[in-house]
């Protein structure tokens, strides 16, 4: 038996409520420009510190030592799956994030409008970052191509210059083993789509025909006279949060990618205002309806990727300030952590362990009275892989029976 | 190569002595009714603290994150086996705990005397908790059924209303894949035994015949006019402590289940007085005869399950007070830990990591000068799975060669 098989055999539903707050990219390293403090150390966080003093803390390794997670693997781990085993393609993430429902066998691709010159070479991979409204208009033009060789084509505009295509076939087998047509460089033409097996070779020919027809339709639409396709992928075979944990689950996340991941796991997508208070207020409104709430805070990651220490501190302080909304409507179990670190000094996701806090009647409390990376090094949870977090939350919620006599 | 294969290749026996003290269910969480201390923090333990200051400490995860171990899996881990791989059935545990020797192929079941009404429905699953003497008397009646369809039937009374049956066949194959006949509820009749393959179907028919004959014999013995069978199981294929570690091993444990586990691992069962001093004195008397001593302290778990903080503290203080008996006859390696946590506030086994201490000439010592959960968070052993403890003890005893050149 392995961990997941045991878990599966001991699930015991009850009426407890669990809230998982994911401060995206929260982990950081001490910054020489800010008196060698991390943003969590620097920020004034009386509420988080009070909660830490009544909780057990530790650090989580999102994937494995030295491995920097993308947002997909980072979240997959948080929800108790092994991110080394499960890949969610970028096309799938974008599609479900935009609210498209993927059927088994569908292939999704994320696309950018782009500019090509008269020789067919790319001059701007993002078509001058055309606004969303323009993308909607252009997508309506492309939507006139409804089907190619029996494969249905579904198009949905995203934010800015981005859109998504779903390829759906009812009779012929199609497969996502297709290269990106984006050459990741300007001055070159878009690549041809190529498949690696019969089903993907067939779909690649459909993709190439779609690109040919699409470019014809866009030829006068400079700067958006072309598009690039990436991340061909199909829906992974994931059990839902209900199937796996017997948790009726809801996501309070504003950004498409996180909504997408949540929806793949069968979470109900709740309204997600952009303010931090709004996220917690949505929880309060829906508290009775679900067992598990995933609350996603994007600002910390954005600030890390922008290299903006003060903006990261500001976002942390906003979470701290809004925390009483949650604490006054306290669920049985609260966890606060991140999907990965995004150190300001690196301006990118990183491999560093994330701080984690678990609070429940049975979490116990350790000697740690602050919620930040270095305090969490000495907490009662030790260091562990993110994929075990869900088991700890279920255990704290007394939703797991004893294993063995 | 995996850990166990390496271990197997580097075992190097010597004359060192190892003592493992298992304070059952020792781990706890800070208790709001006792100034937010754990029983280990609250107890006065000058001897344990002195030993901690000369030792290295840490925390062990009995099975895996969030998984609450039963006593079987908890101990299996302590003795260096992976509790996810090895299941010891409850029938087997009871049988060996009562001193019965199981042969390969035997099937054991644990039984309760129970009360049924004239319609055959259970009115008391424990027959009014009849005393052990009554159970002995009733077992003597059941023992008149010596054999059914060529299957030998061996009966042994346990404590209170409990007894054990062993089914043994010399010529026909029998198998333990049989459901409990205990419906786990009153107002219902006992269930029929059903098998899942040929060998268990055959045994199930023997079990049903035995139950039919047995109830006939007991029909005037109200309140014990019936019995329920549970935990059908056969002896797992475990190597002995000698085979695995080249350790002549002895158990000083008073309770049947722990004696049972020890005997499955080929440990000699020594006399185990109920006093803590008695346990240590048994060690002193037998010190020269064995390499490894498993000393089991039950009181800490009992107190945890009873939700009795003060009783847990009292048991800890008794261990502390008796510790000099061990220290004056110091083995080369001492380990003190638990098989799992049993927090007073939960009145049950739990998933929380247990504190662990290792003392030897080569253990090293860290900064930690107390033996309790939160001090152990920061010890030199870190957090690790219980299944690795035996390797650390062997290494401290210099019973492991270098791996690789």
Residue of A nearest to B82 (CA): A1
Q: What is the pLDDT of residue A257?
A: 85
Q: What is the pLDDT of residue B363?
A: 98
CA distance A244 to chain B (A): 15
Rg over alpha carbons for chain B, rounded to the nearest Å, is 23
The CATH number that domain A11-87+238-396 falls under is: 3.40.720.10
Record: contact B67-A366, CB cut-off 8 A: no
Q: Which residues of A touch B84 (CB under 8 A)?
A: 1-3, 6
Q: What is the pLDDT of residue A274?
A: 84
Predicted confidence (pLDDT) per residue in A341-367, tens digit = 999 999 999 999 999 999 999 999 999
Record: contact B68-A401, CB cut-off 8 A: yes
Please tell us whether the domain made up of B93-233 is placed in CATH 3.30.70: yes
Residue of A nearest to B351 (CA): A395
Q: What is the pLDDT of residue A256?
A: 83
B346–A contact, CB cutoff 8 A = yes
Predicted confidence (pLDDT) per residue in B349-391, tens digit = 999 999 999 999 999 999 999 999 999 999 999 999 999 999 9
Q: What is the pLDDT of residue B90?
A: 87
Q: Which residues of A touch B90 (CB under 8 A)?
A: 405
The CATH-assigned architecture of domain B3-87+239-396 is 3-Layer(aba) Sandwich (3.40)
B73–A contact, CB cutoff 8 A = yes
Q: What is the pLDDT of residue A99?
A: 85
* ipTM of model: 0.90
B35–A contact, CB cutoff 8 A = no
Tokens 């970052």: give the residue. A129
Segment A225-245 mean pLDDT: 95
Residue of A nearest to B384 (CA): A382
Q: What is the pLDDT of residue B332?
A: 98
Record: contact A6-B343, CB cut-off 8 A: no
Q: Looking at the predicted structure, is the pLDDT value of residue A161 above 80?
A: yes
Tokens of A124: 């701007």
Residue of A nearest to B74 (CA): A404
Binned at pLDDT 50, 70 and 90, residue A369 comes out as very high
CA distance A290 to chain B (A): 22
Mean pLDDT of chain B: 96
Q: What is the pLDDT of residue B292?
A: 98
Q: What is the pLDDT of residue A404?
A: 86
Record: contact B83-A404, CB cut-off 8 A: yes
CA distance A18 to chain B (A): 15
Binned at pLDDT 50, 70 and 90, residue B264 comes out as very high
Question: Is residue B385 classed as helix, strand or coil in its secondary structure?
Answer: strand
Record: contact A400-B85, CB cut-off 8 A: no
Segment B13-38 mean pLDDT: 98
A401–B contact, CB cutoff 8 A = yes
Tokens of B45: 């333990």
Predicted confidence (pLDDT) per residue in A130-151, tens digit = 999 999 999 999 999 999 999 9
Q: How is B173-217 classified by DSSP, letter by letter?
A: -----B--S--SSSSSPPPPP-BSSHHHHHHHHHHHHHHHHHHHH
Binned at pLDDT 50, 70 and 90, residue B121 comes out as very high
A369–B contact, CB cutoff 8 A = no
Rg over alpha carbons for chain A, rounded to the nearest Å, is 23
Q: What is the pLDDT of residue A5?
A: 95
Euclidean distance between CA atoms A15 and A19, whole angstroms: 13
Instruction: For A75-94, give one letter per residue: b (16+ CB within 10 A) or e.
Output: bbbbbbbbbeebebbbbbbb
Mutate which: B31, B57, B67, vs A, most A CBs within 10 A: B67
Q: Looking at the predicted structure, is the pLDDT value of residue B159 above 90?
A: no
**Where exactly are the structural domains of chain A?**
11-87+238-396, 93-233
Binned at pLDDT 50, 70 and 90, residue B257 comes out as confident
Predicted confidence (pLDDT) per residue in A297-340, tens digit = 999 999 999 999 999 999 999 999 999 999 999 999 999 999 99
Predicted confidence (pLDDT) per residue in B272-283, tens digit = 898 999 999 999
CA distance A381 to chain B (A): 8
Q: In degrees, to the nearest 5, what angle opens at C-alpha A37 toward C-alphas A34 and A42?
A: 85
Predicted confidence (pLDDT) per residue in B50-105, tens digit = 999 999 999 999 999 999 999 899 999 999 999 999 989 889 988 988 889 899 99
Record: contact B383-A378, CB cut-off 8 A: no
Q: What is the pLDDT of residue A159?
A: 87
């Amino acid at each position: 038996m392995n961990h997941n098989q045991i878990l599966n055999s001991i699930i015991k539903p009850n009426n407890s409520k669990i809230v998982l707050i994911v401060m995206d990219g929260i982990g950081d390293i001490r910054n020489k420009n800010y008196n060698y403090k991390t943003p969590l150390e620097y920020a004034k966080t009386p509420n988080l510190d009070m909660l830490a003093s009544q909780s057990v803390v530790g650090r989580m390794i999102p994937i494995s030592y030295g491995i920097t997670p993308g947002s997909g693997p980072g979240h997959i781990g948080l929800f108790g799956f092994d991110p080394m085993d499960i890949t969610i393609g970028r096309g799938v993430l974008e599609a479900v994030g935009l609210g498209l429902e993927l059927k088994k066998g569908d292939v999704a691709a994320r696309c950018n409008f782009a500019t090509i010159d008269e020789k067919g070479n790319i001059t701007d991979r993002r078509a001058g970052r055309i606004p969303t409204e323009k993308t909607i208009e252009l997508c309506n033009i492309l939507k006139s191509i409804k089907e190619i060789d029996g494969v249905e084509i579904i198009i949905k505009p995203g934010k800015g210059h981005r859109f998504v295509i779903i390829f759906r076939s009812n009779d012929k087998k199609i497969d996502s083993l297709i290269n990106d047509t984006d050459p990741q460089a300007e001055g070159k033409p878009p690549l041809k789509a190529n498949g690696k097996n019969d089903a993907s070779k067939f779909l690649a020919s459909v993709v190439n025909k779609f690109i040919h027809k699409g470019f014809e339709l866009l030829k006068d639409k400079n700067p958006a006279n072309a598009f690039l396709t990436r991340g061909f992928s199909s829906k992974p075979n994931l059990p839902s949060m209900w199937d796996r944990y017997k948790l009726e689950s809801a996501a309070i996340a504003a950004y498409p990618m996180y909504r997408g991941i949540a929806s793949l796991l069968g979470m109900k997508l709740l309204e997600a205002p952009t303010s931090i208070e709004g996220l917690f207020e949505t929880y309060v409104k829906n508290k009775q309806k679900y067992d598990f709430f995933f609350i996603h805070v994007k600002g910390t990651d954005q600030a890390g990727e922008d290299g903006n220490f003060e903006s990261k501190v500001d976002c942390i302080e906003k979470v701290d300030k809004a925390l009483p909304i949650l604490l006054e409507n306290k669920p049985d179990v609260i966890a606060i952590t991140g999907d990965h670190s995004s150190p300001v000094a690196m301006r990118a996701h990183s491999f560093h362990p994330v701080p984690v806090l678990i609070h429940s009647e049975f979490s116990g409390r350790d000697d740690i009275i602050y919620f930040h990376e270095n305090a969490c090094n000495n907490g009662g949870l030790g260091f562990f892989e993110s994929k075990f977090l869900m088991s700890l939350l279920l255990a704290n919620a007394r939703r797991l029976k004893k294993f063995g006599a």
